[in-house]
Amino acid sequence: MILAVLAAVAIIVTGLLGAAPAHAATTPKTVTKPVTVSLTFDDGNADQMPAVQILQQNGLTGTFYIITGYLGAPGYMQQSDLATLAAAGDEIGGHSVTHPDMSALSQAEAERQACQSRATLSSWGYSVRSFAYPFAESTKKTRDAVRACGYTSARGLDDVQTAYDCTGCATAETLPPKNAMLTRAPSQVEANWTLAGLQQQVTQAKTDKGGWVQLTFHHLSDDAALDPTISPALFAQFAQWLAAYSADPANATTVKTVGDAVGTPVQPVVQSPVPAPAAPGVNAVQNPSFQTTSTTSPSGQKCWQYGGYGSNTAAFSTVTPGRTGTRATSLTVSNAVDGDAKWLPTFDLGECAPTVVAGHTYSLREYYTADTVTQFTVYLRDADTGSWHYWTASPWYASAATWTQAVWTTDQIPAGFDGISFGLNLFTNGTLTTDDVAAYDTVGAPPLATSTTTNSAPTSTTTRSSVSRIAPAVDALTVRSRAVLGQLDTSGMAGQLDVPSTPAGPESPAGPASPARPASPARPASPLPGPIGR
The Cα 249–Cα 384 span in angstroms is 47
Contact 158, 166 (CB under 8 A): yes
Contact 461, 475 (CB under 8 A): no
Q: Which value, to the nearest 10 degrees, does the dihedral of the CA atoms of residues 325, 331, 332, 335 take?
A: 180
- Residue 422 confidence (pLDDT): 98
Kind of pairing between the strands at 417-426 and 374-382? antiparallel
Contact 323, 436 (CB under 8 A): yes
Helix (H) or strand (E) holding 335: none
The Cα 92–Cα 106 span in angstroms is 26
Q: For residue 28, what are the contacts with CB-CB under 8 A and spacing of at least 6? A: none
Contact 183, 156 (CB under 8 A): yes
Contact 427, 520 (CB under 8 A): no
Q: For residue 427, what are the contacts with CB-CB under 8 A and spacing of at least 6? A: 333, 336, 339, 340, 375, 505, 517, 518, 521
Contact 337, 310 (CB under 8 A): yes
- Residue 297 confidence (pLDDT): 87
The Cα 288–Cα 303 span in angstroms is 9
DSSP conformation letters of 233-285: HHHHHHHHHHHHHHHSGGG-EEE--HHHHH-PPPPPP---PPPPPPPTT----
Helix (H) or strand (E) holding 155: strand 153-155
The Cα 424–Cα 434 span in angstroms is 8
- Residue 492 confidence (pLDDT): 27
- Using alpha carbons only, what angle is made at residue 379 by residues 98 and 474, rounded to the nearest 5 degrees? 40
The Cα 470–Cα 71 span in angstroms is 9
- Residue 385 confidence (pLDDT): 94
| Stated length of the chain | 534
The Cα 402–Cα 371 span in angstroms is 10
The Cα 146–Cα 141 span in angstroms is 9
- Residue 2 confidence (pLDDT): 46
Tens-binned pLDDT, residue by residue, of the chain (534 aa): 344 434 443 433 344 334 444 444 454 454 569 999 999 999 999 999 999 999 999 999 999 999 999 999 889 999 999 999 999 999 999 999 999 999 999 999 999 999 999 999 999 999 999 999 999 999 999 999 999 999 999 999 999 999 999 999 999 999 999 999 999 999 999 999 999 999 999 999 998 999 999 999 999 999 989 999 999 999 999 999 999 999 999 999 999 999 999 999 999 999 999 999 999 999 999 999 999 999 888 899 999 999 998 999 999 999 999 999 999 999 999 999 999 999 999 999 999 999 999 999 999 999 999 999 999 999 999 999 999 999 999 999 999 999 999 999 999 999 999 999 999 999 999 999 999 999 999 999 999 976 556 655 554 444 444 555 555 543 333 332 222 222 222 222 223 333 333 333 433 222 222 233 332 233 322 222 334 456
The Cα 175–Cα 339 span in angstroms is 50
Kind of pairing between the strands at 304-309 and 340-345? antiparallel
What residues are paired with 419 via a beta bridge? 355, 381
Calculate helix-pair angle for 232-247, 49-57, nearest 10 degrees. Answer: 30
The Cα 121–Cα 531 span in angstroms is 22
Backbone angles phi, psi at 478, to 5 degrees: -60, -45
